[in-house]
């Protein structure tokens, strides 16, 4: 028989919010309640009949509360198969009552880790009895309903009221699946905490929050995002964020976070097509757009300063999908919200996982996130002519951009403004030629500009082409067996070259 009437319940929860309504309904349905510690006191204070779990175990809670429910009289009543005569005979023999409903809310391990560094207190927040109750009840879902987190209280209330405490097999199986989601997430969090120091070579990741997207990268692909977007930004206005939007937002935030000075960035297909740093936000926007106003169409705009009315009025003149800023003036929002589908995001805290992973073949590729940002002091001159102060500023600026560009990548910059970039090319020479052609197409004079490369030059052809275009300073990681060829050309032609020793491939 798939339908089961709940006759008894075991309740052991950490957070009591919302539990009172459930307890009242259980009382109204004459369901016998067993409970532990603080939960028992909570129920008793409500005036609802309940028995302490000690009435089953005949033992008090021991070891400072570490052991309360770990007893055959508890787990036997949960795990007994009602259709199995031998199981039922053993319950009768040992006077173990059946338990049909288990409600558990685990110790807040993840919240404790996020809040404190005291390992002793963290360890005490590893739930033992609760997690065991969840697994036992979920395993025996054919007979037992398991509620494994407080977020399920509302659903449980509806279930209890709809059929006066009768549940179907399908309902119990659904709750069991949710229970194993809860337990696996909990165990993963504990493992990840311990593995910060131990370094055990195993991949574990668990994210319970998800957003269903309209589709994936293309309309024929399904898509979801797993994570909490609410920690990163507040969506003030606009349509639903898509899969491709999220990729662009990630790229935009990664690049803008490289800059402390007032900066605007325009992103298209995960790459920067406009970047400029200026003391005045309006000038920063104007010069970032000037880099490539064609590609900016339909792009993502991000800045690290509050957007005011003046900037908003200028930005509103072009079509774009998303704008991200730490703040907007009231008038700026009024202007930008004039397009109903335009996505406006107010940036919150910087949230960046120190690791990076993605699925490949039949497994996962994992690596540390590229957090290296080379500043002026990290750039080692390798030519007789060293970069001047302005050139060095531009080299740092260009190197930040090339770090966030798809390889092979070349970035040309001048006066803290992106002139052009060549990205995603199979040849570094092609990337440079693409950048030069693009810069000239938008009227940039490359005389005195600088060049940044995400990886070393295997031959001197790139510095020759750059020199012919007017570029006078170059930053690259170095590391080629033929580095000297490029160094010699730069030295002979009055170009300044610096090495960082850090490659920034991005695929």
318-377: per-residue pLDDT in tens? 999 999 999 999 999 999 999 999 999 999 988 778 888 899 999 989 888 999 999 999
Confidence band (pLDDT; 50, 70, 90) for 60?
A: confident
pTM: 0.86
At residue 479, φ and ψ (nearest 5 deg) are 120, 0
Which tokens go with 381? 């001159």
Task: Give the range among 38-42, 58-62, 102-106, 128-132 with minimum mean pLDDT.
Answer: 58-62
Question: Angle at which helices 483-492 and 461-468 pack, to 10 degrees?
Answer: 30
Q: What is the reported pLDDT for 481? A: 94
**125 catalytic residue (yes or no):** no
User: Which residue, among 413, 389, 388, 393, has the nearest Cα to 401 in the 3D structure?
Assistant: 413
Q: What is the pLDDT of residue 107?
A: 85
CA nearest neighbour of 284 among 254, 305, 309, 257? 305
| Bridge partners, residue 473, by sequence | 450, 496
Q: Dihedral sign for Cα 67, 69, 71, 75, please.
A: negative
Separation of alpha carbons 477 and 484, rounded Å: 13
**Selection from 418, 109, 439, 397 nearest residue 275 by Cα:** 418
Examine the pLDDT at 310 and tell me if it is beyond 90: yes
Contact 428, 412 (CB under 8 A): no
Check residue 318 and give its pLDDT: 95
Mean pLDDT of the residues in the chain: 92
CA distance 299 to 76: 61
Strand ranges, E, within 59-213: 101-105, 145-147, 166-167, 210-212
Distance CA 261, CA 242 (A): 30
Q: How confident is the model at residue 1 (pLDDT cuts 50, 70, 90)?
A: low
- Average pLDDT estimate for 229-257: 94
* Residue among 269, 286, 310, 339 flagged as catalytic: 269
Look at residue 175 in the predicted model and tell me its pLDDT.
96
pLDDT higher than 70, residue 472:
yes
- Among residues 101, 134, 104, the alpha carbon closest in space to that of 9 is found at 101
**Whether residue 169 has pLDDT greater than 70:** yes
Query: Do 338 and 245 contact (CB within 8 A), yes or no?
Result: no
| Pairwise CA distance, residues 116 & 76, whole Å | 37
The first and second tokens of residue 449, run together, are 């500009």
Q: 160, exposed or middle or buried, with CB in 10 Å at 0-12, 13-18, 19+?
A: buried
Per the rule left: phi > 0, alpha: psi between -120 and 50, beta: everything else, 448 is left
Consecutive H or E run containing 5: strand 4-5
Enumerate the β-bridge partners of residue 233: 347
- The C-alpha atoms of residue 472 and residue 391 are separated, in whole angstroms, by 9
Could you tell me the pLDDT band of residue 196, with boundaries at 50, 70 and 90? confident
Nearest CA-CA partner of 39 in 57, 60, 13: 13
Main-chain dihedrals φ then ψ at residue 201, nearest 5 degrees:
-85, 80
Integer-rounded Cα radius of gyration of the chain: 31
Catalytic: 269? yes
Give mean pLDDT, residues 304-312. 96
Q: What is the pLDDT of residue 199?
A: 80
- Sequence-distant (6+) residues with CB within 8 A of 47 are none
pLDDT of residue 349: 80
* Cβ atoms within 10 Å, residue 394: 26
From 176, 152, 203, 214, select the one nearest 341 (Cα to Cα): 214
Alpha-carbon distance 482 to 456, whole Å?
A: 9
Residue 365 burial (CB < 10 Å; 0-12/13-18/19+)? exposed
Mean pLDDT value across residues 148-167? 91
pLDDT band at 159 (very low <50, low <70, confident <90, very high): very high
User: What local confidence, expressed as pLDDT, does residue 58 receive?
Assistant: 76
The residue annotated as part of the active site, out of 7, 16, 32, 139, is 139
* DSSP summary character for residue 64: G
Interstrand relation of 32-35 and 51-52 (parallel, antiparallel or unpaired): parallel
Residue 328 tokens, joined: 């907007």
pLDDT tens sequence across 385-401: 999 999 999 999 999 99
What is the 3 state secondary structure string of 415-471? CCEEEEEECCCCCHHHHHHHHHHHHHHCCCCCCCCEEEECCCCCCCHHHHHHHHCCC
Instruction: pLDDT band for 453, please (50, 70, 90 cuts).
Output: very high
Q: How far apart are CA 141 and CA 171, in angstroms?
A: 9
pLDDT of residue 352: 76
Per-residue model confidence (pLDDT) at position 161: 92
């Amino acid at each position: 028989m798939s339908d089961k009437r709940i006759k008894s319940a075991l309740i052991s929860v950490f957070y009591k919010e919302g539990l009172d309504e459930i307890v009242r309904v259980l009382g109204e349905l004459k369901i016998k309640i067993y409970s532990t510690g603080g939960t028992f006191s909570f129920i008793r204070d409500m005036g609802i009949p309940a028995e302490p779990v000690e009435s089953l175990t005949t033992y008090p809670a021991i070891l400072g509360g570490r052991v309360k429910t770990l007893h055959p009289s508890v787990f036997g009543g949960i795990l007994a198969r009602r259709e199995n005569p031998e199981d039922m005979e053993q319950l009768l023999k040992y006077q173990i009552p059946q338990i049909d409903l288990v409600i558990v809310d685990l110790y807040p391990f993840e919240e404790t880790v996020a809040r404190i560094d005291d390992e002793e207190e963290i360890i005490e927040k590893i739930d033992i009895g609760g997690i065991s109750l969840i697994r036992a009840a979920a395993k025996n879902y054919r007979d037992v309903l398991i509620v494994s987190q407080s977020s399920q209280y509302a659903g449980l209330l509806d279930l209890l009221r709809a059929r006066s405490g009768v549940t179907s097999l399908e309902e119990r199986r659904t709750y069991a699946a949710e229970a194993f989601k809860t337990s696996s997430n909990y165990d993963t969090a504990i493992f990840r905490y311990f593995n910060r120091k131990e370094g055990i070579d195993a991949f574990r990741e668990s994210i319970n929050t998800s957003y269903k997207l309209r589709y994936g990268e293309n309309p024929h692909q399904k898509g979801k995002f797993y994570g909490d977007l609410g920690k990163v930004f507040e969506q003030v206005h606009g349509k639903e964020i898509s899969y491709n939007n999220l990729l662009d937002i990630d790229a935009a935030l990664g690049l803008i976070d490289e800059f402390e000075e007032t900066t605007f960035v325009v992103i298209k297909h995960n790459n920067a097509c406009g970047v400029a740093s200026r003391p005045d936000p309006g000038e920063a926007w104007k010069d970032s757009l000037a880099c490539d106003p064609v590609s900016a169409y339909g792009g993502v705009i991000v800045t690290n300063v509050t957007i005011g009315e003046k900037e908003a009025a200028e930005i509103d003149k072009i079509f774009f999908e998303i704008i991200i800023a730490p703040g907007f003036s009231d008038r700026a929002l009024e202007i930008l919200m004039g397009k109903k589908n335009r996505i406006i995001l107010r940036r919150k805290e910087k949230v960046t996982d120190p690791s990076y992973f993605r699925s490949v073949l039949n497994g996962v590729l994992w690596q540390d996130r590229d957090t290296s940002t080379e500043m002026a002091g990290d750039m080692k001159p390798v030519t007789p002519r060293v970069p001047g102060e302005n050139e060095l500023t531009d080299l740092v600026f260009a190197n930040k951009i090339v770090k966030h560009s798809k390889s092979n990548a070349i970035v040309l910059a001048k006066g803290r403004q992106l002139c052009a970039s060549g990205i995603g090319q199979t040849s570094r020479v092609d990337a440079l030629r693409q950048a030069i052609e693009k810069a000239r197409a938008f009227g940039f004079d490359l005389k005195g500009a600088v060049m940044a490369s995400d990886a070393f030059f295997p031959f001197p052809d790139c510095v020759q082409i750059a020199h012919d275009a007017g570029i006078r300073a170059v930053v690259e990681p170095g590391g080629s067996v033929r580095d000297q060829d490029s160094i010699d050309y730069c030295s002979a032609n009055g170009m300044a070259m610096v090495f960082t020793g850090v490659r920034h491939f991005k695929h």
